[in-house]
Amino acid sequence: MLSDVEALHPKTDARRVVVVGSANLDIVVPVPHHPMTGETVMGGDHALVPGGKGANQAVAAARQGAVVAFVGRVGNDDAGTALRTSLGEAGVDTSHLSVDEEAPSGIALIGVDAHGDNAIVVSPGANARVGSSDVGLAEAVLADASVVLLQLEIPIDAVDAAATTATGLIVLNPAPAPSAPGTLPASLLERVDVLVPNAIELAQLTGSNPSTDVDGLTEAARGLGVGTVVVTRGAAGALIVTAETTVVVPAPTITPVDTTGAGDSFCGALAAALAGGVPVDEAVRRAVHAGAIAATRPGAQPSMPTAGEVDDSLDAGTTGPDR
């Protein structure tokens, strides 16, 4: 199964992952519930936590043992310094993280309710200035990567340029999804080896009605024309959809504390495993456990588990993939 992906990257010790994406400073506030329009909600003490989909996924991949480089931008401010420091402390190469003198670092305003569910508003700042020139400066490291991991919190021309430059496996997390179906360039999707949407993002990409059942998700995923689509389903785990097969990968049972960054933990762990030549079924299973662990901890980057923690979660015992 999934022989095309596995043949592209046989098992290797290199495990080189390059993430091209966003870095935000998250301002996290616990709230009793998320406000309705016009409502003011009194929250608890806020916390400043390094985040951003790209940076989160880079940290997640590094904690799984991959050799990771990050391509992006921050502002010349305290937030930018904190974001660079957090990436560096996780072992991520930040030599291609540029400082933008004309824009502040990106921030995300995150409310987390009593059930661990979040609502997020992002102010992109310097992330909105990431472009093909940034990708060009990182051409050598992109060409050397086993896996290039992309998201959509930076301009699409930068994402497209990175996919064009990459010579290895391309993994795209289409988040946030485009506002209208068909606006993601077909040329970009054609180059993607593994697409990782959640169920809502899949519906937005295809223009279909949101679905939670396996048959509906499979039909929507196959309509995108990508060789392998991994649909994340939260507490229900994930689906691996190809033209021929659908595999259900269950999630361990947890009590969520904060779901912020759980999807990024999934993507980073998936990229790290694929970069090491791990079969896709097993890579997704590791990613499901990495995402589940992250959801049991507060914050984004601080919640990302190590490879050993994922091993322990797997050893604790859950059922394997169902075909």
* pLDDT tens-digit series, residues 46-82: 999 899 999 999 999 999 999 999 999 999 999 999 9
| Rounded-to-integer distance, Cα 300 and Cα 4, Å | 32
CA atoms within a 13 Å half-sphere pointing along the CA-CB vector of 287: 32
For domain 3-22+56-97+128-315, is the CATH number 3.40.50.300? no
pTM for this model (two decimals)? 0.90
Chain mean position to CA 57: 5
List Cα–Cα distances, 146 to 64, 94, 99, 208, in angstroms.
15, 18, 26, 33
* Residue of 26, 134, 160, 264 marked active site: 264
Given this model, what pLDDT does residue 185 score?
A: 87
- Does the active-site annotation cover 264? yes
Average pLDDT, the chain: 91
Report yes or no: 20 and 148 within 8 Å, Cβ to Cβ.
yes
Given this model, what pLDDT does residue 317 score?
A: 64
The angle at the Cα of 40, spanning 37 to 42, to the nearest 5 degrees, equals 140
Given this model, what pLDDT does residue 300 score?
A: 82
By the 10 Å C-beta count (0-12 exposed, 13-18 middle, 19+ buried), 291 is classed as: buried
Given this model, what pLDDT does residue 9 score?
A: 43
For 223-278, the pLDDT digits (tens) are 999 999 999 999 999 999 999 999 999 999 999 988 888 999 999 999 999 999 99
Given this model, what pLDDT does residue 5 score?
A: 52
Flag residues of the chain having pLDDT under 70: 1-14, 317-323
